[in-house]
């Protein structure tokens, strides 16, 4: 059974600048390499879902420019339904500048552009993609109002909603009320609950805090350590696969997209889906770039042997 996944989110052209180390304030550094590729949290998650075997649709916005055409074509290359991508006549396509050091750590500067103009209008136009999905995914590089509209529509049609609260931001409480599964990293989780992630007890406390906000299911990704999950029936911590990271860009996005491709709508297989997602992101961090580094289902299965 192939999962149908609809992603509402951002489309950015990523420019990666490779440097020895991060610059100090006021310091000028030479870059060792410069490359551009398709990216954006939403686009990365959609590509990860599609490459991991899900039937994927996208809702978003690009500018009337060559970057926008490039982004739509990039998604089409992965057989993603792009009918839900609108064109903004006045604002350019989103972009991101990524500083990447020798340790594989990154700092990212994002220009929202047309991503910031995604509205209820785009969501309503893509109603069919939402109603017929198994999962609808949203993040915070597009406005929360659009995510709220999409999640409400999803819930009315029995579709499971997954929220990736990144970049960290204040969340509209109404959005949490229509979120089935929230997937923050440890920093985002701490900023939303006020509970610092230090051990199992703090993760369990975080799950209870999210439940009070209206979200019954939680996955917290903890970088190279692994991921914690909590549902109504179980909770556990699953260690990450040990690999040498060269570029952590899109690791979290790969995790969420790959997870959605395997997860059952009742979340009964969350533990095995989570291991599959971790395997996918462990491949991503061993390669350069955002979208180009995301593995296919064949690569994930081969690495699992």
Q: Is 58 left (phi over 0), alpha (psi -120 to 50) or beta?
A: beta
CB under 8 Å to 187, separation ≥6 — which residues? 168
Annotated binding residue 249: yes
Strands 94-100 and 106-111: antiparallel
Round to whole Å and give the CA distance between 148 and 132: 18
Q: 194 among the known binding-site residues?
A: no
Q: Is 20 one of the annotated binding-site residues?
A: no
222 is in an annotated binding site: yes
Is 43 flagged in the annotation as binding? yes
Q: Is residue 191 a known part of a binding site?
A: no
On whether 236 is known to bind a ligand per the annotation, the reply is: no
- Asked whether residue 293 is marked as a ligand-binding residue, the answer is yes
Residues 6+ apart with CB under 8 A from 134: 3, 4, 5, 159, 160, 265
Q: Say whether 252 counts as a known binding-site residue.
A: yes
Maximum distance among all Cα pairs of the chain, rounded to whole angstroms: 54
Residue 3 assigned as binding residue: no
Please check if 158 is assigned to a binding site.
no
**179 annotated among ligand-binding-site residues:** no
CB atoms within 10 A of CB 155: 16
Is 225 annotated to bind a ligand? Reply is yes
Q: Which residue blocks in the chain are alpha helix, DSSP H?
A: 41-51, 66-77, 120-125, 127-131, 144-156, 173-177, 186-193, 200-213, 251-262, 270-284, 297-303
Joined tokens for residue 254: 């790969």
226 is in an annotated binding site: yes
Q: Choosing from 78, 134, 180, 253, which is the catalytic residue?
A: 253
- Per the rule left: phi > 0, alpha: psi between -120 and 50, beta: everything else, 141 is alpha
Quote the tokens at residue 189: 């989780």
141 labelled as ligand-binding? yes
253 is catalytic: yes
**Length of the chain as a residue count:** 305
d(CA 154, CA 127): 9
Residues at the annotated binding site for K(+)?
247, 249, 284, 287, 289, 293
Binding-site annotation, residues: 12-14, 40-44, 141, 185, 221-226, 247, 249, 252-253, 284, 287, 289, 293
- From the annotation, which residues make up the binding site for ATP? 185, 221-226, 252-253
Annotated binding-site residues for substrate read 12-14, 40-44, 141, 253
Q: What amino acid positions are annotated as catalytic residues?
A: 253
């Amino acid at each position: 059974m192939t999962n149908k996944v609809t992603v509402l989110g951002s489309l950015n052209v990523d420019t990666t600048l490779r440097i020895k180390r991060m610059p100090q304030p006021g310091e000028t550094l030479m870059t060792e390499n410069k490359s551009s590729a398709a990216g954006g949290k939403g686009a990365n998650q959609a590509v990860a879902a599609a490459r991991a075997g899900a039937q994927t649709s996208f809702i978003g916005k690009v500018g009337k420019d060559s970057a926008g055409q490039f982004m739509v074509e990039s998604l089409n290359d992965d057989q993603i339904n792009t009918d839900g991508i609108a064109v903004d006549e006045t604002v350019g396509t989103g972009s991101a500048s990524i500083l990447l050091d020798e340790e594989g750590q990154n700092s990212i500067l994002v220009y929202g552009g047309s991503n910031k103009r995604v509205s209820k209008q785009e969501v309503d136009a893509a109603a069919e993609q939402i109603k017929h999905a198994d999962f609808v995914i949203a993040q915070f590089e597009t406005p929360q109002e659009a995510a709220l509209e999409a999640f409400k529509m999803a819930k009315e049609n029995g579709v499971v909603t997954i929220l990736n609260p990144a970049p960290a931001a204040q969340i509209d409480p109404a959005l949490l009320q229509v979120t089935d599964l929230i997937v923050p990293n440890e920093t985002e989780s701490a900023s939303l609950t006020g509970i610092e992630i230090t051990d199992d007890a703090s993760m369990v406390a975080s799950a209870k805090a999210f439940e009070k906000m209206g979200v019954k299911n939680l996955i917290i990704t903890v970088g190279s350590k692994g991921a914690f999950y909590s549902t109504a029936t179980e909770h556990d911590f699953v260690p990450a696969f040990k690999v040498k990271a060269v570029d952590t860009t899109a690791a979290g996005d790969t995790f969420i997209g790959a997870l959605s491709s395997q997860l059952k709508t009742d979340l009964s297989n969350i533990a095995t889906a989570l291991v599959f997602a971790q395997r996918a992101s462990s491949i991503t961090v061993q390669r350069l770039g955002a979208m180009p580094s995301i593995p296919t289902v064949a690569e994930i299965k081969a690495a699992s042997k």
